[in-house]
A and B are shown apart, each in its own frame.
Chain A
């Protein structure tokens, strides 16, 4: 069963990026502190949650890990709807997965809400000797496209917590700022309403939030 309703905010986040870059392992590292050198490929989507504390608020992240293969795009893009955050993952040791970041951004533009918070994640930072994407280059690209940026390793766990913490904090700040605007307009705010993008696939979960007001 779920952890119940003891959270202040529930944010839906998607993990996207080429097949094999380590999305599923980032998720299992974050939610279960597990890493699998030989994990099975993701078929369609997989789902996991974890709660984090941000500015004293209990934030529950509902994370959808999507399949990377092109053929699944029709299925997986349906899950972008309602997402307030996206971790766009590439593999620092495979240049092609970095090149494809542009394509993934277009996917998000086409299918996700325009306010979605996007973080570029260069995974497998442990593979230093195989690095094919310089950190500075990716950093510059992220800045240009107004994305936040981080390098992670699901294998040695470095920055995994940080990546999720950062994106959830960014989302929270945006959401709570909007709540303030709304309350100034005497609109009774609730955490659910304050997320401008309503989850459409899993509205039930969004509806369960205990209001923060």
Chain B
């Protein structure tokens, strides 16, 4: 598919470590995650590396007044059994046709030392119940959950109340809400017997699996550290995060979850509570109290988000998405809600949802979730989306200067990388803005599947704070250039039509990884030269 032989992947042929070390850990995680009272909204405090000061000032949002009640008590939340009686965001905004949630208790925050033990006990019994597990998991007993991701990612049979039609909730959701690492500490309840490799241990498949399993072991080791080493985590994540570790890894990479383990539970509890307050504030008055322009556009777009996918067609998911988008928009008046941001929220929601269920998130009916779990998923999605958007805010402010700049730079870059293609596009009067605008505005989400996007974001998040505006340019350029041969045989209309619906339907992680490697090569070659070209 690629027009040229693919280069070696960065982790094999090139050593990415100089790049990694060029960011200091503190740059990336110098962060408010456990610094109560701030929420990364202030440009001076943001953990995103700001390329220019202009960017920071032109897009600086006006913080919404916060109810300060939560900050003072946050540190005590983790250690006690607390009922906060916060409103459930699922009751906002009031919708006449929506039944009110039965559970109005809001948060139940539980974090006790016995949680861990309980989880382990449970694992043990489930584990010994299955003979195949012993054969596969031998030697890895020290690290619970050290499994081949392929195995772990299988929708494992739920130990209780399987509801196959709507998807199945794990029975330990309460532990996961309070302790993100609970996911890793416990083994999945059962192994999948049907994997072919168990019958051919010496085969190629088995070798690949052992490499993966080894990688996974390193990953788990890294995440389980009392104080996670960010440089190491980023290096590992660059090559892809095992899907069951994403709900933990992404928040760490984004600086949403603190690196030191002891701070995590309290930080998550505080941020989730803070989100609840934001929702309450935003929807405090009835519908007429909403910003009509913003709300109107969100209402039009939410039903058009991932159309046809069961999860996103559920009323409950749509209400969550509305709240996430609306709260973000009113906190960022310089941009407000811009179409396409809805797309960007979906990977987070699906990744966080996946932590609590044993089935395909896209097929899941979130009304099965206890309200405090849904709140946690929604709040985590909100904060992580906010962090992502912090780095690309000028894509969405008036006249969208971030996109204009990115498209211009991409045009220059392609002229360097593939002069014949650039010349052909020019001779056919194709302007990059005609197709690449969307590539920037939706981060290629309209071009590739959500699964592809999620894999791509592993690398973006590992790359660093500005990957969504900088590295992304190189990915877009590599993305275009791989169809060079085809494109050079097309005329204006053919080119535009082709680029509007690219044949990426069958793409797996493999194609994405090729693309990322290619982009990395271009990045290494051209990034520091950027200042030399263009005018």
Contacts and interface: CB of A to CB of B under 8 A. Distances in A.
A and B: partners?
Answer: yes
Interface of A: 1-2, 19-20, 36, 38-49, 62, 67, 69, 71-72, 74-75, 78, 201-205, 208
Contacts of B438: 43-44
Contact of B496 (A47, A71, A78, A203): A47
Interface in B315-349: 335-336, 338-340, 342
Given A39-B304, A44-B434, A78-B433, 17 more contacts: A36-B307, A38-B303, A40-B304, A41-B339, A43-B340, A43-B437, A67-B339, A69-B297, A71-B336, A71-B396, A74-B400, A75-B437, A201-B434, A203-B429, A204-B427, A204-B430, A205-B492
B433 A1 contact: no
Taking each of A1, A71, A75, A204, which has the highest tally of chain B beta carbons within 10 Å of its own beta carbon? Answer: A71
A39 B304 CA distance: 6
B400 A204 contact: no
B439 to A, nearest CB: 9
Q: Please classify how large the interface on chain B is, using the bins under 10, 10 to 19, 20 to 34, 35 or more.
A: 35 or more
A208 B398 contact: no
Contacts of B303: 38
A41 B428 contact: no
B442 interface: yes
A94 B215 CA distance: 55
A interface: dominant SS: loop
A60 B441 CA distance: 30
A41 to B, nearest CB: 5
A75 B433 contact: yes
Contacts of A47: 434, 493, 496-497, 500
Interface string B397-427: 0111000000000000000000000000001
Contacts of A39: 304, 307
A43 B446 contact: yes
A74 B493 CA distance: 23
Nearest to B429: A204
Contacts of B300: 19-20, 41
Interface string B278-312: 00000000000000000001001101110110000
Contacts of A45: 434, 437
B431 interface: yes
B400 A71 contact: yes
Contact of B339 (A46, A69, A201, A203): A69
B494 interface: yes
A208 B297 CA distance: 40
Contacts of A36: 307
A43 B441 contact: yes
B442 A43 contact: yes
5 contacts: A38-B313, A67-B339, A74-B399, A201-B429, A205-B429
Given A38-B307, A204-B491, A46 B297 contact: no
Nearest to A21: B300
Contacts of A40: 304-305, 307, 446
B304 A38 contact: yes
A61 B300 CA distance: 29
B339 A72 contact: yes
A201 B496 CA distance: 12
A129 B47 CA distance: 52
Interface string B474-517: 00000000000000001111101100100000000000000000
A105 to B, nearest CB: 20
